Structure formats: C-alpha cells, structure tokens
Amino acid sequence: MNNKVEYWINIAEYDLQTAKALLKTSRFLYVGFMCHQTIEKALKALIARNCAEGELPPKIHDLVKLAVKGNLYNIMTDKQQDFIYKLNPLNIDSRYPDYEYNITESITEESYEELIVETEELLCWIKAQL
C-alpha cells in the first residue's frame, strides 16, 4: 500500500473509531457525520491509489460521485449503493443546524448503531478492493 492510500485509510479508520466513541456519549448527530467521513476517506484512498505524484483526490464530499470516480460504484451491491445514498445527506445536514432536528428525530439510537455496523462493513469491503 502506498503512502497516499495508507494515509486515507488510516484517517478513515480513525473516523470510524470516533463515530463509535460519539455513539457511547449519545452525540448522535455527529455519529452520522463521522460515518460519512469514514466512507468518504476510504473512497478517496481508492482514488489516491491511481493519482499521479502530487495529485490529490477531488475535494468533494458526495459519496456517489467518489464511488463513480474510483470505479467502484458499478461493482457495488444494491445494498452498498443504497447505503452510500443514505450516508450522503449526513455530511451536509450535520453542518447546518436548521436541519439538526430533522436528522435526530428520524433516526433512533439503534439505527445509529446499525449505521456504524454498515459503515464498518463497507469500509472493510472498500479496503479489500485496494
């Protein structure tokens, strides 16, 4: 694994651990955000693998676009594709307080636990593609 890929994977794994820590302290809004960040950075690791020296993955946060750019979207299962669509708004909505209540009212603690499980599964699958 080259240094660029290792960098992105390491921070993806760090973000997943952060999501787990936030769940334990009931900081639910940011659990979703960190799950999004985990997958975003894992996808950027995949993209970084093919970047020229000194080139960085795109500075975008849309998981679908990143999966497409990394040539991964078309080999994802329907469940994996659905999951990245589910994660996508958690990046944006957590940054805008007006939407905070919409998110926290619609997702239970149990669903945040499942979000972490699904994030961990997708992260493992992306790492296997490297």
- pLDDT digits over 36-79, tens only? 999 999 999 999 998 888 888 999 999 999 999 999 999 999 99
Which residues, at least 6 apart from 115, have a Cβ–Cβ distance to it below 8 Å?
Answer: 31, 32, 35, 87, 107
**Runs of H (alpha helix) within the chain:** 3-24, 28-48, 63-69, 78-93, 100-106, 109-129
What fold characterizes domain 3-129?
Answer: Four Helix Bundle (Hemerythrin (Met), subunit A) (1.20.120)
- pLDDT digits over 5-15, tens only? 999 999 999 99
Report which residue type is found at 13. E
Domain locations in the chain as residue ranges: 3-129
